[in-house]
A and B are shown apart, each in its own frame.
Chain A
Amino acid sequence: MTQSIVVQVGQCGNQIGFRFWDLALREHSSLNKTGLYDDAVSSFFRNVDTRYSDPADIPVGHGLGKIKDLKARAVLIDMEEGVVNEIMKGPLRGVFDYKQLITDVSGAGNNWAIGHKMYGAKYKEEISETIRRAAELCDCLQCFFVIHSMGGGTGSGLGSFVLNLLHEEYPDIYRFVMAVYPSHEDDVITSPYNSVLAMRQLTDNADCVLPVENQALVDIVNKINQANPKLAERKSSRGHVKAGSAISTGDGGIVKGKDEKPFDSMNNIAANVLLNMTSSARFEGSLNVDLNEITMNLVPFPKMHYLVTSQTPLYSVSDVHIPPRRLDQMFSDAFSKDHQLIKADPKHSLYLACALMVRGKVEVSDIRRNIERLQSSLKFIHWNRDGWKTGLCNVAPVGQPYSLLTIANNTCVHHTFSGLRDRFVKLYKRKAHIHHYTHVDNMEIEDFSESLESLTSVIKEYETLEKQINNPAPSLPRLQVI
């Protein structure tokens, strides 16, 4: 079984990461009733014996050893201590090893150059050492998950630096990035600069990027709350929706009641995406999809690795007599623009490939039936008309009988990127705030123009492919008698 390491950078990255670990523990504890340390748990957690001052690692062995104490395979990086200190004071402090934290005091001031160039140079050795230690404790490391935001300073700057480092030192290990993109009305003025400068690093160094937009998450949370207002106030829901089933809830986790923070429901959704994506690699199923299969199947050209995700169902209804139509509804919803994690409409754009990761009690014939049904309403590029990747994991997510995560390579991302580029150009034309960046050592004005070029080329590639949206398959040339 393979292991993965999660690297969370910056305030946003650490908050999403914190929710991820809470939900991962919740999932494993609801499935692993016997408390045995098996392969599934070892993909994200280490089993340690804390009697020693340097906690000794206990390997999986024959999978029958009991769990003594779990430590997460995580590296927490932040240039200001607030968030990480809160995590270490909170209920999950036992899960993190103090040696896995890298913090500084003053923060990066929403400045990509400070994050990437200054702190990067300063902490390069330490970061490299910490990651190497975490990697050595893995039996067979398969991928890194890097979680960070694009608009801030630490997240975008130091996050993209870490990505660079991982590419250099571990070229064979896949790098999945969950990047939170700033929405149109973002409170950080320099966020377009930070995002575009970081985008170039993502295009060059990441294997797969899952962009997430705050606005989309807010809309999804509102949708869930509308369905059952009592859910928002956390009272017992005698209504329609089963308590603890929404993907935005942290019910059953360690963090309870009053400790919940306002962004938690949004972060839960993003954390659930990571859990569902790795579920097939961790648990058994009829059609396993490993993480390397996701990159290989969904990325037809090297630079076009930006994948749009959506999760359904948002919550499960407490009515016991669930008709089978609901399963079909789940598949249809997955392609509506309200369920995507970025503000984009994939139905009106061109699909290059699409992966359906199904969990729970769903059969192969259901999946095939729904693919045939949806095939006509979705536009796939002509050379990949059947570009579906299906994965079936038998283990259902917590609180729901089945769920579907769609990961799609769709050209609608170029709209998001174009918006980003326009905001960047508006500021760059006037060279506003540039001096904050160029003051930093090693930061040059060419970095800006090169990043803009890289972003433009990615947008152009997607646009060229989208132009083929109405192309039928070219007919093969007839064999000629010479």
Chain B
Amino acid sequence: MSGVVLQVGQCGNQIGQHVWETVLKNNDRNNHVFCHFDGKLRSVNVDSEPKVVRTLLKNCKSGKFREGNIILGKRGKGSNWALGYSGSIDNSDVVIQDTMDAHRRETERCDSYSGTIIIHSLSGGTGSGVGSRLCELLRDEYPLAYQLSVCVAPHSTGESPLQHYNCLLCLARLQRYADGIIWFDNDEVMNRLLKATRAPPGGFSNVTLNAMNHHISSALCGVLCPIDSLTPKTGVSLGMEPWELIRSVCPMPANKFIHVNHVSERKSSWIDIAKNATNFLQQRNQDGQHYTSLSNVIVSRGDPTGSFPSHINAIEERIKKCYNTVSWNPYPCDFWIGKRSLSKTDKPSLTIASNYSSVIDLLQRVVNRSQEMYNAGAYLHWYQKYGCDKEYFECAFESVNNVIASYQESILS
């Protein structure tokens, strides 16, 4: 009812696939949040090359996706933000236009359109370039609607030499046009999964890309799926979860980055699950300083016996300590309770969405690396070829530096 999910690029579509699989598993009356009454998902899939979306359609029940909402280009955007942002040189690229049309049709089908969730990566060409363009266009079209961007930051040891430029340019746009930005870091996800799996004898523990995508999509579902405490007395969800999240976790317009921590375990008490969640969290940065969080939302699911409310105080204490909540916020923790679990086996899960200052590290790294490359003048001719000249870069540097400054300021007090 409330929103449309837009998946852009290879990363976006792979994560989207897992999200839909989880959502479709819980086939209940709240499905209307994600599905139209004719059974098709409120999803728009965009990619500039056909292979990934074809795999998605093969693996997921393809009858659930509307034909007109699948927009595919042919040639790929070559890991170049400028090519994704501006389309091709001779404007023969209709991907962006078609996507806006499909999105418009989808919003017309909604009873009460509140906003869009865009899932994309920060380092690819399509994900970052087309994603930021769509963000901008959607803001123009629907100035009052929410925009939640879910982005995935690349490995710091390098997924592509152009990743720093792409991240920088995309983050600058997101800061300007999105209302909330949920970010995941490939490094963090991979380390967490490596710790969780045990190595086979004589070998190394393996983490597949599938496992990483699955983890990210579980965390997303933890935050976005309907919650009982937000459902009105009629028992029918309004699908307000993503927008409530933004309203709770992003207190200031300059601080929009939301970090999500998700743990799902069977047969543990709520305190143990909370302990686990905070154990996985990186609490200190390289200089040994504690990170701070401005505001948190804790979502618990899979609580058939209703035992969670009694543990709220203990968990709140723990969160306040480990997340080092800021002192000027009198109510740093908001609790949401969902009776149904995400998985079919009724495993209880805890998801903590927090406005966490570890994002400063990511932003600083992106700025530093791109500044080095920019000063050396490397790869700039590829961006200039597609209309992205020095001005774009200068503006982007300024934007991201401002974000870093405002985060540093807000955690000082």
Contact = CB atoms under 8 A, between A and B. Distances in A.
A299 B385 CA distance: 14
Contact of A383 (B88, B156, B162, B375): B375
A381 B372 CA distance: 11
Interface in B110-163: 125, 155-163
Contacts of A381: 376
Contacts of A383: 369, 372-373, 375-376, 378
B206 A296 contact: no
Nearest to A353: B161
A363 B381 contact: no
Interface stretch (B208-216, B254-262, B302-310, B315-323): B208-216
B204 A296 contact: no
Interface in B356-395: 368-369, 371-373, 375-379, 381-382
Contacts of B55: 284
A351 to B, nearest CB: 10
Contacts of B372: 382-383, 473-474
A134 to B, nearest CB: 18
B158 A387 contact: yes
Interface residues of B, number: 51
Interface in B75-104: 75-76, 78-80, 88-90
A384 B378 contact: yes
A112 B140 CA distance: 58
Contacts of A300: 161, 378-379
Interface stretch (A157-165, A257-265, A366-374): A366-374
B161 A298 contact: yes
Nearest to A324: B203
Nearest to B373: A383
A211 B413 CA distance: 59
Interface residues of A, number: 48
Contacts of A369: 204
B49 interface: yes
Given A292-B75, A365-B205, A388 B49 contact: no
A94 B14 CA distance: 41
Interface in A268-316: 284, 286-288, 290, 292-293, 295-302
Contact of B161 (A365, A388, A392): A388
A287 B371 CA distance: 27
Nearest to B377: A301
B207 to A, nearest CB: 4
A2 B49 CA distance: 9
A130 interface: no
A323 interface: yes
Nearest to A302: B381
Nearest to B73: A140
B160 A297 contact: yes
Nearest to A298: B161
A386 B156 contact: yes
Interface in A381-414: 381-390, 392
B207 A363 contact: yes
A8 interface: no
Contact of B78 (A284, A292, A473): A292
B204 A365 contact: yes
B78 A368 contact: no
Contacts of A64: none
B284 interface: no
A297 B159 CA distance: 10
A415 to B, nearest CB: 22
B209 A286 contact: yes
Given A302-B381, A473-B372, A364 B212 contact: yes
A324 B75 CA distance: 36
Contacts of B207: 363-365
B194 interface: yes
A32 interface: no
Contacts of B368: 476
B202 interface: yes
A78 to B, nearest CB: 31
Contacts of B212: 364
Contacts of B369: 383, 385-386
B160 A292 contact: no
A390 B52 CA distance: 17
Given A288-B10, A288-B51, A364-B207, A384 B80 contact: no
A39 interface: yes
B75 A286 contact: no
B236 interface: no
Interface in B39-60: 49-52, 54-55
B311 interface: no
A408 B163 CA distance: 17
B190 interface: yes
Nearest to B92: A172
A388 B159 contact: yes
21 contacts: A2-B74, A172-B88, A286-B14, A286-B208, A288-B76, A293-B125, A296-B382, A298-B161, A324-B204, A353-B161, A364-B209, A365-B204, A365-B205, A369-B204, A383-B373, A383-B375, A384-B161, A386-B156, A386-B161, A387-B158, A387-B161
Interface of B: 10, 14, 49-52, 54-55, 74-76, 78-80, 88-90, 125, 155-163, 190, 194, 202-210, 212, 368-369, 371-373, 375-379, 381-382
